[in-house]
Chains A and B, each alone.
Chain A
Amino acid sequence: MLKSQQETPLWEDTIAPGASWSLILRRGNALRLVDVEGGANAAALLYNFECPVERYNMPDTLKAQHTGHLTKNFVIYSDMGRVLSSITEDSCGWHDPLGGFSDAASVSAKYGKASYQEHRNAWHRNTRDNFIEELMKYGLGLRDLGPSINFFSKVRVSGDGGMKFMPGNSKASDHVELRAEMNLLVILDTGQHPLDPNPKYDPKPVQFSVRRVAPAAADDPCRLSCAENARGFINTERYF
C-alpha cells in the first residue's frame, strides 16, 4: 500500500455537539477521532457488524490488560476473546472506560430542561437516548446497550475507590486512532461526560475520518504489549 493511500482519508465528517453517529468500520480501516476545540467527550460502542451479539466487553478489556484506562497500544476486546480494535495513535493519553454516559434525567437535573419545541437545535440531548436511537437503526436496542468507552475523558480513581473527573485531559486537536481488527458497527455520541462537573450544557464537536491502514504486523506494538493481547490477536486472526 502506498503511503499516500494511508494518509488520505476515505471520508471525513464532524459530529455536532450533543449529537450521535453510527458507521461501519471494516477490518483494514482505521477511525481517527479529533477533539476539535478541546474538552470533547466521544462516547463509543463497538459491535461485530456481522454478529452484533458479539460486542465490546468492558471487564474483559480491562482485566486482560490490567488497566482502568485506555491509551495507545491497548486494544478493545469483545466478549468472545477477540480484538475488535487496537488503539494505534493517541495524543491525549487517557480515555475513560468506567464513567458510563448521561441519560435524560441526569441531563435535565444538571443542566435544566431545554425542549426541542422551544430551543430547536440547541435543545438538551442525552447520550442514552442517542445511543438507543442509533442501535435501533440496526435492529438492536436497550438490551444491547452496555458501557461506553469515553474517548478524550479522564476519570481518576482514588485509593478509597472514589471517582473524579479530571478536566483538561484533552486539548484542541488531540486525536486518537482506532484500527479495526474486525468488521465493526461503531456508535458515537458527543454528549458531555456524566461526571464532568461543568454546570453548563456545553458539548463539543468531534471530527472523524476513515482511512485504509496496514494490518497488524507480527511486531505490532498492540499485539506485543502483553501476552494476553498476543492470544487475543490469535483468536481474531482465526476468525478471518
Chain B
Amino acid sequence: MAPAQTLVESLLKAEEATYSEVVPAGEFWIHQINAGQIFRIVDLNGNQAVDTLFYSVLDTSERYSATDTIKGQANIYLTTGSTLRSNLGNAMLTITADTCGRHDTLGGACATESNQVRYAIEKRHMHACRRSFLLAAASAHWDLTKRDLAPNINFFMNVPVTPEGGLTFEDGISDAGKYVEMRAEMDVICVISNCPQLNNPCNAYNPTPIRVMIWNS
C-alpha cells in the first residue's frame, strides 16, 4: 500500500541516464520504456501537469487503469510504493522515488470539449491535452485511437477528494526540480501530454517544460 506523501530521493546519477529530453509545454512525447528500465519525469519549473498514459507494447488493449490502480492500493494518491496497474490488474510500473509526494489520477486530461464545459463554450479552439494524446497516437505505429484514451495520471497535480464526497483542485505541492521516478515492470509505451492549459490556476496559468529521463537499470 502506498503511504501518503513519503518523500524518497533517487540514487541514480543524471549523467548516467541513457536518454534525457526536454518536453516543452503543449507538446506530446511518445516513447517505449522496457521492463527493468527506470523512467523519471522532472517538473523543471514547478506545478506543471504531466498527463500520462501507459500501454503494454505486447498488446495495447492492456493499458494503465486509474481505477485498478487506486483500488489495488485502496488510496487515490500515487507516490513512492504505488504500483501502476493495467486494466487486467497487472503491474505496469512501480514508483520508486518521488520528491513531490502526491500525484493525481482522478482529474483526467483537458480536452477542447471539456474546456467548453468547464470554462466557456467559446474556448473550444484552445489547445488541450487530449489533442496532444490524439496527435501522439497518430504519430506512432502502435495503432492507438481515441478508443484507447483511458483516464490518465496527472503527475505533480493535487486533486483531493473530501470525506463528504467533494473534489477540489488544490494548489500544487510540487516545485521547480521535483521529480517522480518509476521502474517499468513490463515493456510499455508511455504517452505524455505536457499540459497546455491556460484556464486553470493549478499551474498559475503558466504551462512550463518538463524533462524525461531513462536509465537502463
Which of B74, B108, B116, B160 lies in contact with A163, CB distance below 8 A? B74
Which of B61, B111, B113, B166 lies in contact with A68, CB distance below 8 A? B166
Which residues does B use to contact A, with CB under 8 Å? Answer: 4, 60-62, 65-68, 70-71, 74-77, 87-89, 102, 106-109, 111-114, 116-118, 120-121, 130, 145-151, 159-163, 165-169
**Which of B113, B116, B166 neighbours the largest number of chain A CB atoms within 10 Å of its CB?**
B113
Which residues does A use to contact B, with CB under 8 Å? Answer: 53, 57-60, 62-64, 66-69, 77, 79-82, 94, 98-101, 103, 105-106, 141-148, 156-164, 194-195, 228, 231-232, 234-235
Given A68-B161, A94-B165, A63-B108 contact (CB < 8 Å) = yes
A sample of 18 inter-chain contacts (CB < 8 A) reads A58-B66, A58-B151, A59-B106, A59-B107, A60-B117, A63-B159, A68-B162, A68-B166, A68-B167, A81-B117, A101-B67, A145-B87, A146-B150, A146-B151, A157-B162, A160-B4, A231-B120, A232-B117
What CA separation (Å) do A231 and B75 show in the bound complex? 32
Q: Least Cβ distance of A101 to chain B in Å? A: 8
Q: Least Cβ distance of B65 to chain A in Å? A: 7
B66 contacts A143, C-beta separation under 8 Å: no
What CA separation (Å) do A194 and B77 show in the bound complex? 18
Given A57-B108, A99-B67, A100-B71, A68-B165 contact (CB < 8 Å) = yes
B75 contacts A81, C-beta separation under 8 Å: no
A98 contacts B70, C-beta separation under 8 Å: yes
A161 contacts B71, C-beta separation under 8 Å: no
Which of B4, B62, B106 lies in contact with A98, CB distance below 8 A? B106
What CA separation (Å) do A66 and B87 show in the bound complex? 25
B147 contacts A144, C-beta separation under 8 Å: yes
**Which of A82, A157, A158, A232 neighbours the largest number of chain B CB atoms within 10 Å of its CB?**
A157
A79 contacts B75, C-beta separation under 8 Å: no
CB contacts (< 8 Å) of A141 on chain B: these are 61
What CA separation (Å) do A146 and B53 show in the bound complex? 14
CB contacts (< 8 Å) of B77 on chain A: these are 160-161
A163 contacts B75, C-beta separation under 8 Å: yes
A103 contacts B147, C-beta separation under 8 Å: no
B74 contacts A195, C-beta separation under 8 Å: yes
Which of A67, A99, A195 lies in contact with B167, CB distance below 8 A? A67
What CA separation (Å) do A234 and B124 show in the bound complex? 13
- Known A146-B150, A156-B165; 20 more pairs at CB < 8 Å: A57-B108, A58-B67, A60-B111, A63-B108, A63-B159, A63-B167, A68-B106, A68-B167, A81-B116, A94-B165, A105-B89, A141-B61, A142-B61, A147-B67, A148-B67, A157-B76, A157-B163, A161-B161, A163-B70, A163-B75
